[in-house]
Amino acid sequence: MRRKLVFPLPEVTVAAFEVRLRHDSYAETKFDRVVVRLYCLIYSINTEKSDKNSGFYVIQVISLAAPFFGLIFIGFGCGKLLRYPEAGLQWMNFYIVYLALPGLFFKLISAAPFDQLSNFPFIIGTTLATLLVVGISFFVGMWFSGRNMRESAIQGVTGGYANVGYMGPGLTIAALGPNAIVPTALIFVFDNLVHFSLVPMLMAAGSKNKDGVSKTLFFIFKKIVTHPFNIATSIAIFAAYIRFEPPAALDVILTFLKNSAAPCALFTMGVTVALRPINKIPNEIPILVFIKLILHPLIAWIFVSAIGDFGREWTLTAVLMASLPTALNVFVLANQYHSYVERASTAILISTLGSVFTVTGLLYLISTNTIPYRFPLF
């Protein structure tokens, strides 16, 4: 009986994958080799008959989500039980941010077709969705904070800054396949442009000590240009353009970095959340968490569907990325500006716990094709 991938893929990818299964040989192109290895690592194979069993999808979704949230909770448990100082995470965070995740982005993006990397309508749709959600969260913050612009800036990103770095790449690729690589990278780059630009400007506007427009703009430019994820993505796009093939030794190192990115990031995320103090839950936190976990993916779904038909993988990648919990970088930003620090920590923890149910539910809807990939009105 013909065996079939759990999640649908283009025929060329399925063919390459089955070649790997039968002959243990690599496909012809570098992109297919990455696809084959990734699927050999992540996916199980099922038969045509299994697709008709709804219980099968539940098992598959649990199997998909459990490793991701499992690593977060293992890290959380270790952080609560052992209580090592947070300074011990510095080298791990350095490895994740400056080596592992950039290696993942380079490895995957450089193997993608170059023409997919300039999909500006998709970029516009996802970026506008993020801007709208940040704006809604900002005004919620202004209401609850008594028009404190600095606190409201952090509340804005609490509701609109998804964990696209630590959770995004591994989850979208596992759920939607290699066609999710490029949209994941594009969302990451341009969402970070939004957050790294808006927060410094709002902080400068709400500060009593005005640093000046030129200094603020230079700070924004520096943060964007020097971010390791953006550097890796830029190099990877250039490598895709010139069809660069890394030497064998370098390719193995990049593969090691790529494979370690998700486990290290998720474990560290769990430990970091565990070490954050939690006090009384402020009134605005449930609203911001609702915006992040429910409203953000809904708005992303509507916006991307309204702009055009980008296909199942691209559209659902936008929805899945938007559904992720609040990013750990929100705490970093709060700590950097000494504003809304403890409450940001509380929001991250609650949104991460809530995402166990919301993200898992979304994965089930995606895997069973219960919802159309485009919003029904379009």
Summarised one tens digit per residue, pLDDT across range 324-369 is: 999 878 887 887 788 888 888 889 889 988 998 999 999 989 888 8
| Residue 376 forms part of a structural domain | no
| Residue 169 forms part of a structural domain | yes
| Residue 206 forms part of a structural domain | yes
- Judged by DSSP in three states, 46 sits in strand
| Residue 126 forms part of a structural domain | yes
Banded pLDDT at 374 (limits 50, 70, 90): very high
User: Which pTM was predicted?
Assistant: 0.74
Quote the pLDDT of residue 156.
Answer: 94
CA proximity to 330, closest of 186, 113, 207, 151: 151
| Residue 99 forms part of a structural domain | yes
Mean pLDDT over 235-239 rounds to 88
H-state helical runs in the chain: 11-23, 30-42, 54-82, 90-95, 101-109, 120-144, 149-160, 168-176, 181-206, 213-226, 228-242, 248-274, 284-290, 296-307, 312-322, 329-337, 341-367
Shared domain for 34 and 117, answered yes or no, is no
In the predicted model, what is the mean pLDDT of the chain? Answer: 80
Quote the pLDDT of residue 43.
Answer: 45
Shared domain for 42 and 72, answered yes or no, is no
pLDDT in tens, 115-140: 888 899 999 999 999 999 999 999 99
Shared domain for 234 and 343, answered yes or no, is yes
Quote the pLDDT of residue 154.
Answer: 93
Quote the pLDDT of residue 29.
Answer: 55
Banded pLDDT at 294 (limits 50, 70, 90): very high
Shared domain for 156 and 242, answered yes or no, is yes
Residue 99 has pLDDT above 70, yes or no: yes
Shared domain for 44 and 62, answered yes or no, is no
Shared domain for 45 and 165, answered yes or no, is no
- CA 139 – CA 180 distance, rounded (Å): 32
Looking at 12, 34, 52, the residue that finishes a domain is 52
CATH number of the domain within which 206 lies: 1.20.1530
Token couple for 292: 């992040």
Banded pLDDT at 96 (limits 50, 70, 90): confident
Residue 50 has pLDDT above 50, yes or no: no
| Residue 375 forms part of a structural domain | no
- Ranges 193-207, 248-262, 322-336, most confident: 248-262
- Half-sphere exposure of residue 283, counting CA atoms within 13 Å on the CB side? 5
Domain region containing 71 = 53-367
| Residue 372 forms part of a structural domain | no
CA proximity to 155, closest of 27, 312, 26, 339: 339
Banded pLDDT at 9 (limits 50, 70, 90): very low
Sign of the CA dihedral running 199, 202, 208, 214:
positive
Per-residue CA distances from 352 to 89, 105, 126, 240 (Å): 19, 23, 22, 34
pLDDT in tens, 209-232: 656 667 777 877 877 778 787 788
| Residue 170 forms part of a structural domain | yes
Shared domain for 124 and 212, answered yes or no, is yes
The total number of structural domains that make up the chain: 2
